[in-house]
Amino acid sequence: MIETTVNKMLMTIENLKQAIKDDIEDIKLANHEKLLERNEKKQAYMDDIVDLKNELNQGLVQAVKNGVDVNIYRNSVNHLEDELKELYTLNGKLASIVLPVKQMYKEIVDELTERSGGNIFEIKA
């Protein structure tokens, strides 16, 4: 069970990493529709990772209760941790691209708002 859970997590992490790489590429290409299409899938991957992490923890606890030496899973769990660290780094790279763009748009909106006296849209009745 533990090996299966670790393998599922590794596969899900790899799928999420690929989705983030695709996001980075689509940002470069200004392919915003593809970014939006992938958001739900990425959220599902993240939810799956959390669920699988809980399943893994429960499996390890159960193995300890059953007298299993969980050190036999050390390499698998270490590899899993390395993959999660890589995912974290990749996500940071995506954020470093997205956040400046977000800030740029915020500054544009703020400037337009300031020029229009606090309202971007002038409504006339």
> For residue 52, with 0-12 CB atoms within 10 Å meaning exposed, 13-18 middle and 19 or more buried, which class applies?
buried
User: What's the CA gap between 113 and 116, in Å, rounded?
Assistant: 5
User: Which pLDDT tens digit goes with each residue over 79-92?
Assistant: 999 999 999 999 99
pLDDT tens-digit series, residues 32-77: 788 888 989 999 999 999 999 999 999 999 999 999 999 999 999 9
Q: Output the pTM of the full model.
A: 0.77
- Tens-digit pLDDT profile for residues 42-54: 999 999 999 999 9
